[in-house]
Amino acid sequence: MVLDEKDNRSPWEKIGDYFSANSVWMKWYCTGCGAIEMPPTMTSRFDMERLGMGPMATPRQADVLLITGYLSTKTLRRVIYSYEQMNSPRYVVGFGSCTVNGGIYYDSYATINRLDMYLPVDLYIAGCMPRPEAIMNGFAKLIDMIKKGEARGWRHYQENYEWYKKNQLDSLGEVIIKDEFHE
């Protein structure tokens, strides 16, 4: 991502970003087929722990929200809910072509087409599905971005919250559902 903004972080922020970059914990939102690419990435073949990355159980603990595949409207509501439970700084990685432009589900009545309309995506990893090599490559890029202070999606989300909210409501109606099964 070529961004021509000046690096105006304070030294403390730089140190903080250094820590964030070297300890990236992910919350996988295993929405689609991409989830199956994660185990090889994690285990001995590719070993993402080398980079200080690891899976986390809950959004509170995680830094990265990893969206691994297509998002139906129902899922997107829950993804947004999860994202809002995460603590800043937080990052979103879109995974596979479905999150980029809808992929093969581009004309489905139930799946969305562009993730970045609803959540601030810092990094897309394209492919259907991306291979672990691609994933590792993407993670390295993400780490680099964080270190340089370029992964600022969470700030963008804060600053343009109205815009994101409007997109969410346009496509989803309501984000939080209250019905017979959710009471």
Partner 1 sequence: MNSMNSMISDIKAALSPLETSEPAFRQIAAVVKPDGIHGALAYLKNKGFTQLCILTCIDWIEDSQFELVYILFSWTDGIHIQLRARIDREKPFFTTVTDIFPGARYYEREVHEFFGVEFCGNEDLYKPLFLELWDDIPPLRKDFDPQAYSDSKFPMRENANEFLSMTGGGDDE
Partner 2 sequence: MNAMNFVYGFLVLVAVFIFQTTLTGINRKVTARLQKRYGARWYQQFLDIFKAMRKDSTSHGWVFDFGVIMALGGIMATVIFIPVAGFEAFPGLDNVFVISYLLAVGMLGMAMSAAGSGNPWASIGVARALTNMLAYDIPLMIVIFTMIFAFDSASVGELAAMQQGMGVLGWNAVRMPLGGIVAVIALLGMLGKKPFDSFIAPAEIASGPMVEYGGKHLGFMFILHEFMTFIEVSLILNLFFGGGATIWEYMLKYAVLYTFTTIISGVMPRFKIDQAVKYFYRVPLAMAVVQGLVVIFTGLGVKIWF
Partner 3 sequence: MSIAVFLAILIILAAASFFVTAANKKAGGFATVAVSLFALAMVLSMKGSVGGEQSFMYLGFSITTVGWYFSVVMLTAYSMTSFFNPFWMKKMIYPAGYNFLYLVSMAGTIGMFFAGDFITLFIFWETVVWSSAFIIQQGKSRKASYVYYVLSAVGSMATLFAIMLAYSVSGTFVIRDAFTGLAGSPGTALVVFLAFILSGLSKMGIFPFHVWLPEAHGSAPHTFSPVLSGGLVKMGAFIAFLSVTAFPAYEIFGDMLKIMGIPAPIYFLMLLGALSIIIGTLMAIKQEDAKRLLAYSSVANGGYILIGILMLDQVGFAGGMMHLMNHALASAAAFLAIAAVAYRTGTTKMSEMGGMIHRMPVTYLVYLISIISMAGIPPMGGFVSKWLVFQGLADKGLLFIAAAAFFGSIGSFMYVFRPLSAVFLGQLFTRDKDVREVGFFMMFPMVVLTLLTLAAGVFPNIILRVVTEIQKSAGIEPVTLARNTIVTTNGFLDAFRVFIVFGFGFAIAFVLFIVRRKSRKVGLMDTYTSAEFIHTPELLHYSHSFYAPFERLYDKAPDTMNMYKKISAGIAELGGLVEAVFYGGKPAKTIFWIMAAGMVFFLAGGVFR
Which residues are at the interface with partner 3 (CB under 8 A)?
Answer: 29, 58-60, 77-79, 81-82, 85, 87, 176-178, 182-183
> Whole-number minimum distance, CB 167 to partner 1, in Å?
8
User: Smaller CB distance to partner 3: residue 31 or 41?
Assistant: 31
> How would you list the strands of the sheet with 64-68, edge to edge?
54-55, 25-29, 64-68, 91-95, 123-125
User: Smaller CB distance to partner 2: residue 61 or 160?
Assistant: 61
- Counting DSSP H helices and E strands in the chain, the numbers are 7, 5
Per DSSP (E only), the strands in the chain are: 25-29, 54-55, 64-68, 91-95, 123-125
Backbone phi, then psi, for 156, in 5-degree steps?
A: -60, -40
52 binds partner 2 (CB under 8 A): yes
Of 37, 63, 122, 150, the residue at the interface with partner 2 (CB under 8 A) is 63
56 binds partner 2 (CB under 8 A): yes
> Whole-number minimum distance, CB 137 to partner 3, in Å?
28
What angle do helix axes 11-22 and 132-148 make, rounded to 10 degrees?
A: 170
User: Smaller CB distance to partner 3: residue 97 or 99?
Assistant: 99
165 binding partner (options partner 2, partner 3, partner 1, none; Cβ < 5 to 8 Å by kind): none
